[in-house]
Chains A and B, each alone.
Chain A
Amino acid sequence: MMRLSHILLCVLCTTLLLYASGAAFGAERFPPPQFESGHELPLTITPPPRSPTYELIDMAVLLGALSLASWLALKKRSRRGIFYLTIFSLVYFGFWRKGCVCPIGAIQNVTLALFDSGYVIPVSVIFFFALPLVFTLFFGRTFCAAVCPLGAIQDLVLIHPLQLPRWLEYPLGLLGYVYLGAAVLFAATGSAFIICQYDPFVGFFRLSGSLEILIMGVCFLLIGLFIGRPYCRFFCPYGAILRILSWFSKWRVTTTPDECIQCRLCENACPFGAIQAPYTAPAPSNYRTGRIKLLVLTILFPFVIIAFGWAGTQLAPTFSRMNSRVRLAERIHLEETGRVEDTIDESDAFRATGQPIGELYDEAILIGKQFTRGSMFFGVFVGLVAMLKLTALTTRRTRINFEPDRSRCFACGRCFDYCPRERARGELTCGSKPHPTG
């Protein structure tokens, strides 16, 4: 079976890659024909904004999906229900709504609205950003479980999960925070919405996109065949926020519906490595080592934060080149000083506006200064996360039972079927054996 599945997976890999190249058609354009018969080409029109009614429907669907996901995960404890809701979310929020607006990208809209008074953020975007956060505070990551289309597409391709060692899982978990910091920085400076720009799956939802991003998406899905939800676990910036909030959630998913009988059948149930083993108290030698580590980290804490902040400011010129005005200013400067001989469409278009080049330079320098400040905060944020991560790894929490890690549990419900208590409950409530799904 293993050999056969590997062969089939290789076929799938090739297929997905080829699909990526096929889906990249949307970008191709060529000039329209020149008519001499008097035929007038239709004017290019800008599509009207989405109707408010549809926005209301979207918000209602989100609210309903989150409520249903929370009920299915916490009350009904139905993996099957979560699975079907996942498919619905993929179809509705992914393929039907083409992945936009999504709470992950809404981070940038909210950030831009906070830093740019001229940007009016739609109510629906605020709703999409805030509602999953509120639900997480009450019910854990039920948004990730069955509502997020990005999570859904990865969840559905997870056919042969492999456990990732903890020593690899923890450091990779830092990347999501780095991505979050960078996304906030670029959005705050009005430079780029990198979450949307580098969304690996939106190309599938829209059947269009740049070849590079489609290939990136295919790679994520191929990895996702074996490593559960790689984007959600290691890159998702919204997931990074949800990880923090889920620590404070009032209710959360548990493997067992009532009491743990210490059967240990669920120890490898989670494909995302979220189930933690019991832990009572450290050995005296480990306790001493842990205290020394904690002391060293406490002493180093301010220095590391300052170092990261400094490194951030040094990255400012590189970051600021993500801004189109800065790039344009640099290009114009290259052309003006003769370092390049040709011009590009953007520089020609700028010159056609008649705006003085000096103004563009001043604007670019101003943006550069914003990046210097913003990059410092970005560096401090990453340093803070890294130090807190290390601090968390030196401290131990006692656990009597096997239980899901609050921050890493996606509330997908896969572990339910591994618990004999759950199976007994299922037989009592339904009179039949629950079927493992997915």
Chain B
Amino acid sequence: MDQKETSQYNSNPDNAIRDQVRYRTAVRTAIVAGLFSAIVCVLLLSNHFRTSFSGPLESEELVRLKTLLLENTKDENLKNRIRELDSHLRNEYFQRQNYSRWGSYLLIGGIIIFLISVAKAIGYRKIFSAPQSIFNYQIATERNANLAFRSVIIMIAVLGAVTLLTITSSQNLTFTAGVEPEQITNIWPRFRGPDGLGISTYKNIPTRWNGSTGENILWKTKIPLPGENSPIIWGNKIFLTGANEKKREVYCLDAESGKLLWQKAVPTLPQAASEPPDVMEDTGFAAPTAVTDGQRIYAIFANGDVICLNFTGKIIWAGNLGIPDSIYGYATSLVMYQNLLIIKYDQATDEDGLSKLLALEGSSGKTVWEVKRPVANSWSTPIIINADTPEKARLITCADPLVIAYAPDTGAEIWRVKCMYGDVAPSPVYANGLVYVIRPNEELIAIRTNGHNDVTDSHIAWRGEEGIPDIASPLTNGKIVLLLSGGLITCYDAENGTHLWEKELEMDFNASPSLVGNRIYLMNTKGIMLIIEAGREFREITKCPLGENVNACPAFADGRIYLRGKKHLFCISEK
């Protein structure tokens, strides 16, 4: 490129001399202003660090004096020294801030003068370039446009790459599950599984193990405190509770290793009675099974303590409902419906008016609704049917003398059947529009669930009187209903109540039966799991000994059974 450069004002010597003088003045002014600005800046910076690193309340001397005051709270001299020092430090702090503000103004002034001086100096030496003698703008324009075209494409590619990187590294918004999505399937969040029906969604459950030899026992972990409650599972965590007269604890175990990840003691709550409740030895102080919504774990104990913890064992809230008047000790497990923790708190007699049903907000423990129940103390756990359709969802509860269905979101009673009597411990089950409830030792009753108000005379589908239990809950797959009473296994046709078969065994069952595919798992009190076919006739598949007495119900996960013995939690998995 052929380029000539000419100075704008150098043609006249007088002008040149004048501009030279002005140029020098501008440069010197710029130097002075620059130096001034730099000095002000150093002072400001020093002041900034002094102020920001030593706030008035962070003075070592002040902290020391305050510590001394804690030891001698009545030392008036010390108090006065602290006040004087505090006042002095605050004054000093604000003086520094004032100093900084004025310094900023000076700095701005210095910078403005500096900029003007530099601009002037450059202006006096400004070189105007002459036009190029020969230059093809046509070619230059084409070349520039082509280069710009390519660079815009590169810019689009860069934006695309940044977008892709962002997309691959970002996670979607998820607020529902407490574990990773792939682990959500491994859930057994409450007593007897997701619907409280004792049915496993997994078919690959072990059918062979031996606790004595260790065959297919993946791990076993001693649980610090006793409890008859059953384990619950969410993802790779297992939760259960334990308690004695003095202590109540929640445990979290790692599902893979059985390692006790944390145990949390329930603190002494201000509302809690100082004396422990009277409970039967078989019931104990931790019979109710905990429940989880994937974000929190909720547990209740025989003395009325209710506690909510997050998955790290941090207490979110806790409260006490008062010691329930329960002749064997409180044993009803907790239930979740959406964000509500539902507590069936039946006690005393139906005439005492103490029984109630509560729904607490899971996140806060605040009572959302509460209804009185005209029933006596009971030990059965409610189930929620049609939970997926809120307008049809019903909370089914059993106690002497009523089976009552509530709307779980409001607590409103929908229907009731007066058919119960005695100490109701078995929980209801449901299939194909029929709820099956146990009147202990007397009747199995099938109730149609589409009624309103008192449907005692209209909605009982059928009754059975053979092999009625008093503790274990029934099991149904919609085709048969299976009962466990002492050592007697009884099977009914689920649709019409026809007595299909019964089998007397020299065993005793407290744990409720469970269904895995077409197999029924029956855990007796000695820890022997009897596995039979779920059919219209009795057929034993196998027996598997655990080597420890059991009252709790098993929990099922992918390829595994978790069983709580009297002392240990076992994980069974076929290797």
A10 to B, closest residue via Cβ: B34
Contact partners of A279 in chain B: CB under 8 A: 137-138, 141
State A283–B139 Cα separation when bound (angstroms). Answer: 9
Contact A311 B37 (CB under 8 A): no
Contact A159 B119 (CB under 8 A): yes
Contact A356 B141 (CB under 8 A): no
B118 in the interface (beta carbon within 8 A): yes
Contact with B along A232-272 (1 / 0, CB 8 A): 00000000000000000000000000000001110110000
State A317–B312 Cα separation when bound (angstroms). Answer: 27
Identify whether the interface residues of A are mostly helix, strand, loop, or mixed.
helix
Interface residues of A in 153-186 (CB under 8 A from B): 156-157, 159-160, 165-172, 174, 178
**Which of these binds chain B: A16-24, A38-46, A57-65, A120-128?**
A16-24
Contact A365 B175 (CB under 8 A): yes
Contact A167 B107 (CB under 8 A): no
B154 to A, closest residue via Cβ: A171
Partner of B361, one of A12, A157, A356: A356
B453 in the interface (beta carbon within 8 A): no
State A33–B57 Cα separation when bound (angstroms). Answer: 10
State A50–B213 Cα separation when bound (angstroms). Answer: 83
Q: In the complex, how many angstroms separate the beta carbon of B235 from the nearest chain A beta carbon?
A: 10
Interface residues of B in 134-164 (CB under 8 A from A): 137-138, 140-142, 144-145, 147-156, 159-160, 163-164
B41 in the interface (beta carbon within 8 A): yes
30 A-B Cβ contacts within 8 A? Answer: A15-B34, A18-B45, A19-B41, A19-B107, A21-B45, A22-B41, A22-B47, A165-B144, A170-B152, A265-B128, A282-B138, A283-B138, A283-B142, A293-B149, A311-B160, A314-B167, A335-B310, A336-B296, A337-B179, A338-B310, A338-B311, A351-B364, A358-B339, A358-B363, A361-B176, A365-B173, A382-B159, A386-B152, A386-B159, A396-B141
Contact partners of B138 in chain A: CB under 8 A: 279-280, 282-283
State A1–B361 Cα separation when bound (angstroms). Answer: 75
Q: In the complex, how many angstroms separate the beta carbon of A425 from the nearest chain B beta carbon?
A: 18
Contact partners of A130 in chain B: CB under 8 A: none
Which residues of A does B touch, CB under 8 Å?
Answer: 1, 4-5, 8-9, 11-12, 14-16, 18-19, 21-25, 28, 30-31, 33, 156-157, 159-160, 165-172, 174, 178, 207, 263-265, 267-268, 276-280, 282-283, 286, 293, 311, 314-315, 317-318, 320, 326, 329-330, 333, 335-339, 341, 351, 354, 356-358, 361, 364-365, 368, 382, 386, 389-390, 393-394, 396, 418, 436, 438
Contact partners of A268 in chain B: CB under 8 A: 129
Contact A166 B147 (CB under 8 A): yes
Partner of A25, one of B48, B57, B126, B154: B48
Given contacts A166-B144, A268-B129, A282-B142, contact A159 B44 (CB under 8 A): no
B314 in the interface (beta carbon within 8 A): yes
Q: In the complex, how many angstroms separate the beta carbon of B148 from the nearest chain A beta carbon?
A: 4
State A333–B316 Cα separation when bound (angstroms). Answer: 13
Contact partners of A438 in chain B: CB under 8 A: 119
Contact partners of A264 in chain B: CB under 8 A: 131-132
Contact B178 A167 (CB under 8 A): no
Contact partners of A28 in chain B: CB under 8 A: 51-52, 55
Which residues of B does A touch, CB under 8 Å?
Answer: 8, 27, 30-31, 34-35, 37-38, 41-42, 44-45, 47-48, 51-52, 55-57, 86-87, 90, 97, 100-101, 103-104, 107-108, 110-111, 114-115, 118-119, 121-123, 125-126, 128-132, 137-138, 140-142, 144-145, 147-156, 159-160, 163-164, 166-167, 170-179, 294-296, 310-314, 316, 338-339, 361-364, 366
Contact A336 B178 (CB under 8 A): yes
Contact partners of A351 in chain B: CB under 8 A: 363-364
Contact B48 A317 (CB under 8 A): no
Contact A336 B156 (CB under 8 A): no
- For the complex of A and B, the 5 pairs showing the least CB-CB separation, nearest first, are A338-B311, A171-B155, A264-B131, A18-B41, A167-B147
Q: In the complex, how many angstroms separate the beta carbon of B142 from the nearest chain A beta carbon?
A: 6
State A8–B26 Cα separation when bound (angstroms). Answer: 12
State A418–B128 Cα separation when bound (angstroms). Answer: 9
State A329–B295 Cα separation when bound (angstroms). Answer: 13
Contact partners of B176 in chain A: CB under 8 A: 361
State A32–B364 Cα separation when bound (angstroms). Answer: 32
Q: In the complex, how many angstroms separate the beta carbon of B108 from the nearest chain A beta carbon?
A: 8
Contact partners of B8 in chain A: CB under 8 A: 436
State A311–B177 Cα separation when bound (angstroms). Answer: 27
Given contacts A12-B111, A265-B128, contact A22 B103 (CB under 8 A): yes
State A357–B149 Cα separation when bound (angstroms). Answer: 51
Partner of A15, one of B56, B107, B123, B361: B107
Given contacts A22-B107, A277-B141, A320-B173, contact A31 B57 (CB under 8 A): yes
Contact B144 A11 (CB under 8 A): no
State A12–B151 Cα separation when bound (angstroms). Answer: 33
Partner of A317, one of B122, B171, B177, B178: B171
Q: In the complex, how many angstroms separate the beta carbon of A282 from the nearest chain B beta carbon?
A: 7
Contact partners of B166 in chain A: CB under 8 A: 315, 318
**Which of the listed residues A23, A265, A338 has the most CB atoms from chain B within 10 Å of its own CB?**
A338
State A22–B103 Cα separation when bound (angstroms). Answer: 9
Contact partners of B31 in chain A: CB under 8 A: 8
Q: In the complex, how many angstroms separate the beta carbon of A279 from the nearest chain B beta carbon?
A: 5
Contact partners of A178 in chain B: CB under 8 A: 159
Contact partners of A315 in chain B: CB under 8 A: 163, 166-167, 170
Partner of B152, one of A11, A22, A393: A393
Contact partners of B115 in chain A: CB under 8 A: 12, 156-157, 159
Given contacts A320-B173, A368-B173, contact A267 B131 (CB under 8 A): yes
State A425–B343 Cα separation when bound (angstroms). Answer: 93
State A320–B172 Cα separation when bound (angstroms). Answer: 10
State A390–B154 Cα separation when bound (angstroms). Answer: 11
Contact partners of A364 in chain B: CB under 8 A: 173, 175
Given contacts A15-B37, A166-B144, contact A160 B155 (CB under 8 A): no
